[in-house]
Amino acid sequence: MKKFNLIAVMVYIAAIVLQTGAVFAQNNGYSIYPQIVDKSHASKEVSTIFDSFFTAKSRHDIAGTMKYFSPNLVTYIDATLGWPLDGYETVKGVFTKYMPNWPETGLSYPTRIIGGTGSAIVAFTDTPELFGGELRILGAVDFKDGKIVRWVDYWDSRNFDDNLYKKNANAGR
């Protein structure tokens, strides 16, 4: 009986290890953000793009994040704040300004993806460390040749610090 219990425990532990490994075995062997995304209505290709994009963003890797944007980027708009960021260099400038100041615990991760490599909707969360309060965001994203050409964010601003908005509006974001 003891041998059977030991085998059962070992099988149980192996199952937990395998399950945990399956959840975190992404992007060079692990994921730095919660793997809770619903991809049931997304193409495999767009799911892969967003997984890699949010991994780079959560690592605060400016070059890694920017490689998903087309140099011919039309616009990135924060619709809630009314901030259009026209062009690749402008978006890169914003990431260059903010990413180096984000603490290691600051994450951005997808929770739902709908669509394919022409256009997609991505629901994602930015943790409070990034912008002062947890943001639950819907991004409408258009792609051309596998790169982002237009991104518009919509989010609930109840948890956003109005002083941060005023500070960024006056400082050119």
CATH code of the domain in which 135 resides: 3.10.450.50
Q: Is residue 40 domain-shared with residue 26, that is, in the same domain?
A: no
**Number of domains the chain is built from:** 2
Report how far apart, in Å, the C-alpha atoms of 66 and of each of 1, 95, 139, 142, 164 are: 59, 9, 16, 15, 24
Residue 21 in this model has a pLDDT that exceeds 70: no
For residues 66 and 1, membership in a common domain is answered with: no
Q: Which of 31-35, 38-42, 112-116 has the lowest mean pLDDT?
A: 31-35
pLDDT for 96:
97
* 60, 97: one domain: yes
Is residue 34 within 8 A of residue 8, CB to CB? The reply is: no
Range of the domain at 13: 1-30
pLDDT score at 133: 85
One-letter amino acid at 29 equals G
pLDDT of residue 31: 83
Q: Which two tokens stand for residue 31?
A: 């994921």
* pLDDT score recorded for residue 18: 36
41 shares a domain with 22: no
The pLDDT assigned to 116 comes to: 98
pLDDT digits (tens, 9 = 90+) for 126-173: 999 998 889 999 999 999 999 999 999 999 887 676 676 565 555 455
Nearest to 95 by CA among 72, 132, 69: 69
List CB contacts of 159: < 8 A, sequence separation 6 or more. Answer: 133, 134, 135
Residues 6+ apart with CB under 8 A from 1: none
CA distances from 152 to 6, 21, 50, 53, 145 (A): 55, 34, 15, 16, 19
What would the pLDDT profile of 57-104 be if each residue is shown by its tens digit?
999 999 999 999 999 988 999 999 899 999 999 999 999 999 999 999
Kindly state whether residues 23 and 106 are assigned to the same domain: no
Confidence category of residue 10, pLDDT binned at 50, 70, 90:
very low
pLDDT of 119 strictly over 70? yes
Does pLDDT of 44 surpass 80?
A: yes
**What is the helix (H) or strand (E) element at residue 165, kind and residue range?**
helix 162-170
Pair 80, 3 in one domain: no
